[in-house]
Amino acid sequence: MSRFKLTIEFDGTDYVGWQRQANGPSIQEALEDAVFELSGERAEVAGAGRTDAGVHAQAMAAHVDLQSNRFDADTVRKALNFHLREQPISVLSAAAADPEFHARFSATQRRYLYRILNRSSPPALEVGRVWFVPRPLDAAAMAAAAAALLGRHDFTSFRSAHCQAASAEKTLDRLDVSRAGDEIHVIAEARSFLHHQVRNFVGTLALVGEGKWARRDVERALAARDRTAAGPTAPAAGLYLVGVVY
């Protein structure tokens, strides 16, 4: 048996998310079908996380086990891309991996980027890839408020009602907000995240950017441990998994 670590880029607009589901096409299903076309094997492609419907990835990590030893890493990459050629999914790299490596459980940090297009005119080229907010946002105020969320906390106020995590306690290592021309970028880093956690951060910080909330309101929302105390969930379109550290 050979284990391969994959790094994958995808546009999640037309998918139900990473995980194979009965209600529509998933990234995992597309990759597993490509693996079958390559090898004739029905093998699981295990990802570093379960991205939601509409969420994108610049560098999702995954692994797959092939019973046959006749494929090298470069052949796996090229063949998977050949079979995925009609879908917005690209295997950026494939590498032989230790049998003990696990894309999800071996990860020590995950990094997400959220893109807000903050201008008066709507997007033409980036539809489905940004959150369009025409109202002016104060990125500096958002950054100052974001600092209140750093560290280890009970993030119940920022988790989805459908989150299946056993505990809402997480350690947030980084939450940066910066402006890049017409865009505001939010970068979040942690070992793991709760369901919708980053999108709920962004929706809450947008209230600060509009001047409706201040940092103290974000602090109160965090302390409340109540989802209704925090801001709205930002759209999936602006969210990207940009890196996984092992």
Backbone dihedral region of 196: left (phi > 0), alpha (psi from -120 to 50 degrees) or beta? Answer: left
Residue 52: active-site member: yes
Q: Which residues pair with 166 in a beta bridge?
A: none
Cβ atoms of 214 and 208 within 8 Å: the answer is: yes
Measured distance CA(176)–CA(130) in Å, rounded:
17
Which of 172, 178, 187 has the alpha carbon at shortest distance from 242? 187
Residue position matching structure tokens 């903050």 = 118
Q: What is the DSSP track for 138-205?
A: -HHHHHHHHGGG-EEEE-GGGS-TT---S--EEEEEEEEEEEETTEEEEEEEES---TTHHHHHHHHH
The burial of 228, by beta-carbon neighbours within 10 Å (0-12 exposed, 13-18 middle, 19 or more buried), is given as: exposed
Q: Which of 11, 14, 52, 138 is catalytic?
A: 52
Q: Which residues are catalytic?
A: 52
